[in-house]
Amino acid sequence: MFIDKATIFVQGGKGGNGAVSFHREKYIPSGGPDGGDGGRGGDVIVVVDDHMSTLMDFRYKRKYVAGNGADGRGNRCSGKSGENLIIKVPRGTLIRDKETGMIIKDMSTDDSFVVARGGRGGWGNMHFATPTRQVPRFAKPGTEGESREIILELKLLADVGLVGFPNVGKSTLLSVVTKANPKIANYHFTTLYPNLGVVYVSEGVSFVMADIPGLIEGASEGIGLGHDFLRHVDRCRLLIHLVDVSGSEGRDPVDDFETINVELREYNPQLAERPQIVVGNKCDLLGDNRQPIEDFRAYVESKGYEFFEMSAVTHKGTAELIRAVAQKLRELPPVIIYEPEYAPPEPELSTPDELTIENYDGDWIVEGDWIRRLIDSINLTDYESRMYFDRMLRDSGVFERLEAMGIKDGDTVNIYGAEFEYKS
C-alpha cells in the first residue's frame, strides 16, 4: 500500500538523575562527595533510506521514544547516555510541525536531522560541595527530553511529472520510456498511486519521471484519486501534460487541457507557471484524419506551449518527446528543496506566581511546574537541603500567600506527595 502522509509523536529520552554518594575507602575517613552525573537522554534522529518509497511503516506505529539516560553512581561515575532512536524515511519526505503546519526539515539530502533532543543529565552531589557545605546530600534530577507531534509528508523527487485525465496513456508512456512496470488497463483509475521510472537518454544523461494518478474536474477540492497525489508534482521541474487528442472518451481535447490546468492552479498557483510540454496522445486512433491534431496543436501553441503528437502504444513520437524533455531539463533549475519555516517557540518558564493553592479543610495542596522542579531537586532526608527548600519557599512568597489565605499552625501542606506540618 502506498502511504504518503503520516502523523507521529516523537520524544527524546529523559536525562539520568545525579547521584548522592560519598567516598568510602579504607584509611580515608572523609573522602567527600563523589556522586556522578546522570547520563544524557537519547535523541530521535531522522535519516533518509533510499530503499523506502512509502510511509507505510508509520501507519500502525505512531509513538517513537529514545532511550533514557542512566542515573549517576558513586566514585564520580557518570551514567550511560540513552540510546538514540533512528527513524528512516524515504528521500523527499517533509517533516512538519503538527501544531503550526510549518516545515521543520526537508529530508531530500543525505544529512540526518535531530527532530527531538534528549534531556540533560542531572549533576551529582560532587558539584555542590563548598567550603561551608562540605556534605551536600542532594543532587539534580535529569531533565525531560523534547517532545512534539510531527507530520511526515512524502513529495516524490522527480524531474518530470505526467499529468492528465484518467486513461490518457500516462502509464503506457512511463512503461515505454523507462523500465517501470505500472499497471495498465483500459479503464479509469487504473493507477492508484504514483509510479516512478528513470529515463536513460544517453550516456550520462537521465532523468526521473513520475506518473501521477489521473486528475478529474474538482480534483483540487478532493474529488477523485488524483487530489491525494497532487503534492507529488510540487517538486517536478517540468510537466508533461497528456491529452487524448482522438477524443476516444467522448471529451473535447481543449476542454480536457483547460480543466487540468485549472485544477493545477487551484491546488498550487505555482504549478500553473511550471514549464509544461503538451502531448497529444492516441494519434493512431485517428487514422488519416489529422484535422483534430492540427486544431489542437494550433490552440496549444497559441497559448505558448510546446506541442508533440504521439502514440504511446505504437511508440510513435516517444523518442522525439524524450529528447525534447532532456534538452528542456538542461535549462531548468534543479529539483526544489524546501527551506525550513519553523522557528521553535521560546520555552515557557513558570514562576512562583503561577502556583495553584487549594485548601481542603486544613489540608493545603500546592501545585505548579516551578515547585515541582524545585522539590525534584531536593533531598528531604538532608537537613541542609530542607533548609534550602524552606528558604526558597519563603523568598518566593509561597508562605506569604498561604498565610494570606488563612493557613494555621498544625495544618498540612502537600507538595507533590511530600507532606509538611506548617509552623509560623
DSSP H stretches of helix in 158-209: 170-177
Tell me what pLDDT residue 66 has: 96
Does 26 have pLDDT greater than 60?
A: yes
Return the closest-CA partner of residue 123 out of 111, 108, 140: 140
Q: What is the pLDDT of residues 54-85, one digit of tens each?
A: 888 898 899 999 999 999 998 889 999 999 99
All residues at 6 or more sequence positions from 140 whose CB lies less than 8 Å from its CB, including other chains? 17, 18, 122, 123, 377
Which structural domains are found in the chain, ordered by start? 1-154 (2.70.210.12), 160-331 (3.40.50.300), 352-421 (3.30.300.350)
Q: Can you tell me the distance from the alpha carbon of 323 to that of 393, in angstroms, rounded to the nearest whole number?
A: 78
pLDDT at 138 over 80: no
Q: What is the pTM of this model?
A: 0.72
pLDDT at 347 over 80: no
Residue type, 43: D
Confidence of residue 221 (pLDDT cuts 50, 70, 90): low
Asked if pLDDT for residue 222 goes beyond 70, the answer is no
Name the pLDDT band for 184 (thresholds 50, 70, 90). Answer: low
